[in-house]
Amino acid sequence: MSEQLCPLCNLPLSADTQVDGDAQPCAGDCSVCFWCAGPLIFNHDLTRRQMSTEEIAELHPTTRMLLERTRKLIRELRGITLQ
Ligand SMILES: [Zn+2]
């Protein structure tokens, strides 16, 4: 996959790791930036953009829980605190 910069923090999104498997990402899949813990979603061309609050709210509850848990872990890892 070609390298893309995170639309939120501009750091490279160089690798994709799936939290519960190793399938290739598809359009509409959600993702989390490993640098800033920002919620991202795959476009049809597999570039990523910021996921909106509405899109997060529409996720399946299990997916949303997984997304929030991943974001929390990354924030803890990076020492990012929310205001
Ligand atoms: Zn980022």
Please give the order of strands across the beta sheet that includes 48-50: 30-32, 39-42, 48-50
Rounded to the nearest angstrom, the distance between the alpha carbon of 44 and the centre of ligand 1 is: 20
For residue 68, the CA-to-ligand 1 centroid distance in Å is 15
User: Hey, where are the domains in the chain?
Assistant: 4-78
Tens digits of per-residue pLDDT, 29-81? 999 999 999 999 999 998 999 999 999 999 999 999 999 999 999 999 988 77
**Cα 5 to averaged position of ligand 1 atoms, centre (Å):** 8
As residues whose CB is below 5 A from the ion ligand 1, the structure lists 6, 8-9, 33, 35-36, 38
CA atoms of 7 and 50, how far apart (whole Å): 7
Is this structure's pTM higher than 0.85? no
